[in-house]
Amino acid sequence: MNQHKILNLIGKINLNNQFNEIFSKKYNFLITNVISESHYFEMTGESMYYALLEQEKKNSVNNNEKKQKIAKAIIERKKYCGGILHHESFNGEKDTQLRSTSAAIRTLLVAEKDGFIYEKELLEIVDHHFSYYFNWADVVWFCHDTSEKEGVTPKSHLKTSYWKKEKRNTLTLNTHLDSLTTLLLFIEQYPNQKEKYKDLLSKSILAVNRIIKTKNKSNYFNSFLQKIDDRIFNIYLKKIINPHKIWVLYQKIVHPLFFKILSPTIFFKNGYIGRDMSVSNIHVDYFLVNITDFLRLLSIYNSVETKLDTAELNTSSILEILEKSFSLLEINKNIKAYAKSTDLGKAWYAEAHYLYSFYSKKYEMVVNEIKTSELYNLETTIFAKHHNKY
């Protein structure tokens, strides 16, 4: 079997010869070379852990030493940070990137099943992570990072109160979905914690239903803006890999002005899914991430919902949204080319199609091509394993 993999947050890597490249040389902390060698980020550990599981499954090898190194790296950096994982913020300060701690929680949950038990540290990470959320009317929306709640708000953030949200709440979609998925997994593995988190769990599920309802709030003005945007968007997609400076106006000003100020929109008629309601950027790079995060949530929710007796997720509407999104992804050659223009994009593309194959056979040929390439860890992720389990 080819030992090269294309992994989320890592890119193309040889599991045997390049394994140590996901750790810093000085402290052996998890890093992401996507940003810099000194940027500590736990998401790389999760992605690599799944790849090691797949290698064990298919090659009958023992990767316990490598897997333990990943789990230990999370614990040791937690100690180094003084008990709370923090990261280099994109506004130049220190905060906790909650997508990263969410990945750390999932990694430790999987590692626990391999016998690497760090229960005390895991519970502390969970407690810190799930203390960051906004009350949004009668539901709860998880923060993107800790600075969103209590730090310095970047000047680029649009401070609106649309849909009765707090001005500081960016309504970042992918992070909320990611945290909710993690909370479901955590309570399943730690049922003794259910009482503590059951209200938060139900309210965060209902928040997904609430954001989905906004897709029906279209009016003539919104439809008019979307028609204009569709034309510009398609031209932009052709230029996005190497855009002229003039396209920054569309990316950072025109699109956000249309759909984050004039007529707020997350779910577009053409199938596009916006990332948030505050950051002055169209964030096409998060389109595949949003799709995948919805599918990860569906996989976990469908497998644990009856056991947890929680609020009901609007799964039918999510699948309607995803059907449109996959049509856009596969029919629009420009957005597909952009999605697959990098190794990281290829990894998200592969996972999205693999998870969607549980709900639709429409793109079965694409999934079969991905499987035969043997470049991705798909079957051993915690999301796929849960879906296959039930």
- In whole angstroms, give the CA distance from residue 264 to residue 257: 9
Write out residues in the chain with pLDDT < 70, as ranges: 1-2, 33-38, 90-92, 241-243, 388-390
Give the pLDDT score at 240. Answer: 75
- In whole angstroms, give the CA distance from residue 16 to residue 291: 31
In-domain check, residue 49: yes
Residue range of the domain that includes 14: 1-129
- In whole angstroms, give the CA distance from residue 285 to residue 23: 25
**Count of domains forming the chain:** 1
Q: Which residues of 254-292 are buried (b: 16+ CB within 10 A; e: fewer)?
A: bbbebbbeebbbbbbebbbbbbbbbbbbbbbbbbbbbbb
**Is 0.85 topped by the overall pTM?**
yes
Q: Quick one: which of 268, 295, 302, 47 has its CA closest to 177?
A: 295
Query: Which two three-digit tokens encode residue 247?
Result: 């396209």
Q: Quick one: which of 70, 35, 34, 36 has its CA closest to 51?
A: 70
Give the pLDDT score at 248. Answer: 85
Q: Which residues of 8-37 are buried (b: 16+ CB within 10 A; e: fewer)?
A: bbbbebebeeebeebbeeeeebbbbeeeee
Give the pLDDT score at 252. Answer: 92
In-domain check, residue 124: yes
255 contacts 263 by C-beta, under 8 angstroms:
no
361 contacts 310 by C-beta, under 8 angstroms:
no
CA-based torsion, 327, 328, 331, 335: positive or negative? negative
Q: Which run of H or of E encompasses 238? A: helix 220-239
Residue 385: φ, ψ to 5°:
-65, -35
Q: How many CA atoms lie within 13 A of 323 on its CB side?
A: 10
154 contacts 256 by C-beta, under 8 angstroms:
no
In-domain check, residue 15: yes
In-domain check, residue 182: no
Give the pLDDT score at 85. Answer: 95
From residue 50, alpha-carbon distances to 108, 298, 317 in Å are: 12, 19, 30
142: left (phi over 0), alpha (psi -120 to 50) or beta: beta
Query: Which two three-digit tokens encode residue 193?
Result: 């914690």
Give the pLDDT score at 92. Answer: 67
Task: Return the ∠ at Cα 327 (arms to 220 and 300), rounded to 5°.
Answer: 105
In-domain check, residue 385: no
Give the pLDDT score at 243. Answer: 64
Give the pLDDT score at 35. Answer: 55
Q: Which amino acid does the sequence have at 74? A: I
In-domain check, residue 111: yes
DSSP letters spanning 186-209: HHHH-GGGHHHHHHHHHHHHHHHH
Give the pLDDT score at 153. Answer: 76
In-domain check, residue 319: no
In-domain check, residue 24: yes
Give the pLDDT score at 390. Answer: 40
